[in-house]
Every structure is written in structure tokens, then in C-alpha cells.
Amino acid sequence: MAILFTGIKQLLTFAGDNAPRAGAAMRETGLVKNAAVLVEKGIIVAAGPRASVSRHSLAKKARKVEVNGVCLPGFVDSHTHMVFAEPRLKDFSMRTAGASYQDIKAAGGGIISSIGAVRAQGGKAMAAQVAARAARFLECGTTTAEVKSGYGLSLESELKMLRAVRDARDFTPLELIPTLLAAHSVPPEFKGDAQAYLDYVMAEILPKAAAEKLAVFADIFCEKGYFTPEQTTVYLKEAARLGLRPKVHSEQLSNYGGTRAGAAAGAVSADHADHVFAEDIAAMRDAGTIATLLPASNYYLGLSKYPPAREIISEGVPVALATDFNPGTCPCWNMQFVLSAACTHCGMTPEEALCAATVNGAWALGIGDRVGSVVPGMQADLAFYDAEDYRELCYYFGASQTLLTVKKGRVVHPRF
């Protein structure tokens, strides 16, 4: 049966080009006041002014849901590390006592300290944990999330993580898009030999993940003490050859060249971008790479430096926003907090931030032709918020304002 959502004080459709939005186009929200959205069979049939949507032939018999709030496309969180066995509370205590990311790594914390529990965990328990976390994302209005592996760092455990993402789909309506991040750090067995480990990843893990179709993307952490820009380009080109689309963690802790290395391999997105310079931004623009900013991680790490969103936007590079939800540098699943951090600390306008969290997030996952905007023919992934004005989503912070989350035309929060 069709559903007619009415009582929408403001609807942001993000109607526009079938492409990532850059520059001034990031501020075009497609705002409609006093709106309605009609959905049938999981697809948006009509969206716009209430009076015209109500005249649609399917509207009369549709189930009516009066929402009394603001409607947006469901958030597309294009960067998460949602699969991990345990929170890293020891790292957290060290950080609160003044230790930096590098201090924590040197003391045996950081990414490597997550692998023991992940390797020991059974696949079923892992899938159940992912599904339980997915419920938290849905509560906050996220309808699609990318999920990276990267805390196993062996053939068996990396594939186990990706299979857990696949299997979690039976237990959650959150759409999960898997990314192989075997090149996240060098596991202890390789005794600091990053090249030997990367050779192993390319010979063993990449081909098997690709053959079993366990991942859509391949990602690598390009940073001093992890993997070099040269290794990044070679690895991502090999991933692309095997059918995995490249992504890169780059310029997070220093300007090291990962963004340019990723762009050279045709990366769909370069993520973090805290320390990008003009030549990195130009490389993204020329390669059509999206800059995915993760300011909630800067907040959590207590950094005063945030990614230079204004410069990136003014140079014409499309910007996406994502949580970076992970146990080490960002224990936050709420995209509404990310909106606040982006506006308050990166100088993004509410319009740009909302575009970055929806339509551009979808393009950072290569699915912008199907999700991320509220126009007829798109998947009915919607979220409704307790607000009069869409800017309240970026203004209030610290709690979720979500009233209702709809995935493929079905209400999945709060009733799921």
C-alpha cells in the first residue's frame, strides 16, 4: 500500500544534477514548505507541495502518516568502521590524560590493539553486534552506511568481518555497503614490514574478497608509520583491477601525499583531508574524487585543527560528511552531531552540511542515482525530525531530533 507522509513543515529534496554537488550547488537544498511525500513499493512516487502531491492518483487510498516536522533524505554515512569487538577504553583514558594518537600507538594501543578481540570473535556474534549498532544509526536518521573491515589484518579475520557485514543484513534494515580495509595497519606478525604485509594483502586477501564479492570498495590508511603514497597508488590500482573501487584515508595526521596517491588511482573519495594543501585539493578536483570530511573524529581527539572545508568547496571539490564511527578515534554514530561539528568547526553552512551528509554521501558510495535525494523514482529512504526549520538539525547538538526513519518505504524507527 502506498504511504502519504504529510505535515512536513519543510522538505529538503536535493533535486538537482545526477552527480555529486560541488561549489554553489552544495547550497541548493530544493526546499519545499508545507510538503508531502508519497511512496509506493519502496520508491518515491511524488514529493513536493502538499496540495499537488495530494492530487496524485495513489494519494487517496494511501495510508496517511502525519509527521509534523522536517523531512530530509536519510543520511548516507559513507565512512564507518562499525565492525569491532570492543571499545578502546584504555586508549580513551590515556587520551584524557594527555596522550596523542601517536603516543597511544607507541604504547601498544591504537588500531593494532583492536585485532585480538576481533580475531577471537565468532562470525555470528560479530554479525549480531553489527546489527545492534545499526539500530543506533537508524535511530538518528541514517539509512545507509558504509562499513570497513580493518581490525582483523589476516585473511581469515578480514573475510570474517566482511561476511559479518553481509550476514548482518538479515537482521537490520540499515543498508550496509562493505569496504575492504585490510591495509589499515601492519599486523605484529609482519614485524613492521609494511611492504611484505601489503604484498600478502594483494596476493591473498584482495583477490578472495573480490571473488566472493564481499566488498564494493578497497581502502588504505596512507600515513607515516602505516602505508606510503607509493604503496597506496599500487595497492589501489590493483584493487581497481580486481573490481574493488578505491578509497583512501589520507592527510589525517600530516600532509603525506595520500590524497594525491588516491586521486592517481581514481579514488572515489579521499577521506579525512585535515592536512590537505592546494595541490591535494587540485588533484581531487581533477580526478573527480570526493573529499569526505570526518569532523566528529577531530572533536573526539580534541584537536583544534579541522579540515579546511571552505577551501575545498571553493575549489570545486564535492564534499561529503560521515561519522568515521570507530572504537579508536570516533565513537559517534550520530550524523546530526557531524552536522554540528561541520558547521561550527569547519565553516560549512547548514545547506552545505546537509547536502554533504545526504546526496554527496551517496555519491561517495557510488549510489547517488538511487539514494540521497527525495525525488520521484528514488528509493524511499527518508528521515523526519522534530523541527520547524531544517537549520535546527545543525544548530541543536548532543541529542537526536529524529522522529521517524523510513527505509525503502518502511518505517524502521521507532517501530522496527
Q: Which residues bind Fe ion (CB under 5 A)?
A: 324
Handedness of CA 353, 343, 272, 75 (dihedral sign): negative
| Per rule CB under 6 A, count of chain residues that contact ligand NIG | 13
> Buried (b) or exposed (e) across 86-110, using 16+ Cβ within 10 A?
eebeebbebbeeebebeebbeeebb
Whichever of 249 and 391 has its CB closer to ligand NIG, that residue is: 249
Give residues 168-187 in contact with ligand NIG (rule: CB under 6 A). Answer: none
Which is closer to Fe ion, CB of 324 or CB of 381?
Answer: 324
> Nearest residue by C-beta to ligand NIG?
328
> Judged by CB, which is closer to ligand NIG: 247, or 260?
247
Shortest approach of ligand NIG to residue 91 CB, angstroms? 8
With both helix axes pointing from N to C terminus, report the angle between 335-346 and 350-357 in degrees, rounded to the nearest 10: 140
327 is a site residue for ligand NIG (CB under 6 A): yes
C-beta atoms surrounding 151 within 10 Å: 29
**Which residue, 225 or 376, is less far from Fe ion as judged by CB?**
225
Rule CB under 6 A: say whether 221 interacts with ligand NIG: yes
Q: Which stretch, 44-52, 154-162, 277-285, 326-334, contacts ligand NIG (CB under 6 A)?
A: 326-334
Task: Pick the closer one to Fe ion by CB: 56 or 184.
Answer: 184
Could you say which residues in the range 223-282 bind ligand NIG, by CB under 6 A? 249, 252
| Closest-approach residue to Fe ion (CB) | 324
Q: Does 329 bind ligand NIG (CB under 6 A)?
A: yes
* CB closer to ligand NIG, 13 vs 292: 292
251 binds, among Fe ion, ligand NIG, none (CB under 5 to 8 A by kind): none
Q: Which residue has the cell 487517496?
A: 60
Residues 6 or more apart in contact with residue 41 via CB below 8 angstroms: 409
E strand or H helix at 248: strand 245-250
Write out the H or E segment, with its range, that includes residue 354. Answer: helix 350-357
Among the listed ranges 3-11, 17-25, 193-201, 324-332, the one in contact with ligand NIG (CB under 6 A) is 324-332
| DSSP letter (8 states) at residue 109 | -
Find which of Fe ion, ligand NIG, none residue 75 binds, CB within 5 to 8 Å per kind: none
Identify which of residues 111 and 276 has a Cβ nearer to ligand NIG in the complex. Answer: 111
Residues in the chain: 416
Q: Which of 111, 222, 319, 393 binds ligand NIG (CB under 6 A)?
A: 111
Taking the complex as a whole, how short is the minimal distance between the CB of residue 408 and ligand NIG, in angstroms? 29
Among 48, 73, 110, 141, binds ligand NIG (CB under 6 A): 110
Rounded least distance, CB 288 to Fe ion, Å: 21
Least distance from Fe ion to the Cβ atom of residue 83, Å: 12
**Binding piece for ligand NIG, criterion CB under 6 A, among 42-50, 130-138, 235-243, 327-335:** 327-335
Q: Measuring CA to CA, which residue among 83, 93, 140, 137 is closest to residue 114?
A: 83
- Under the rule (CB under 6 A), what is the footprint of ligand NIG? 81, 110-111, 114, 221, 249, 252, 297, 324, 326-329
